[in-house]
Amino acid sequence: MSYSKRDRWTGIELIYNDETVNHIAKHNVTIGEVLHVLKHSKKIVANLKGDNYAIIGEFYGKCLVIIVTRENEKRFILRTARDCNNKEKRRYREKHKK
């Protein structure tokens, strides 16, 4: 089963399926956390290579890295999500000091 969720992150549609949800669960991340970061968190977005992007954001103090692939202008496929490592946390917190 595939899901899609529209959110305010530049009007994208996030595409994911049960396999992706199960994969990110192995990293102790829920789809709700991913959607919250995309919709509500301050973000750092980096182009990795081609149409792949890393998004760093925060879910109530939990720093997450979300990897997506652009399918077209408005549709992105969720590839994975995980907790930030120390370097990523430092970068995020330096950029978005509270």
CATH number at residue 68: 3.10.450.530
C-alpha–C-alpha distance, residues 93 and 63, integer Å:
9
pLDDT band at 90 (very low <50, low <70, confident <90, very high): very high
Q: What is the DSSP letter of 97?
A: -
Unique residue bearing structure tokens 């529209």: 6
94, pLDDT greater than 50 = yes
Number of folded domains in the chain? 1
pLDDT for position 6: 46
pLDDT for position 54: 94
pTM: 0.88
The sheet with strand 75-83 has its strands ordered as: 2-6, 13-17, 75-83, 62-70, 52-59, 44-49
Q: Taking residues 33-48, report their average pLDDT.
A: 90
Q: What is the DSSP letter of 95?
A: H
pLDDT for position 74: 85
**What's the domain range around 13?**
2-95
Tell me the one-letter amino acid at 58.
Answer: E
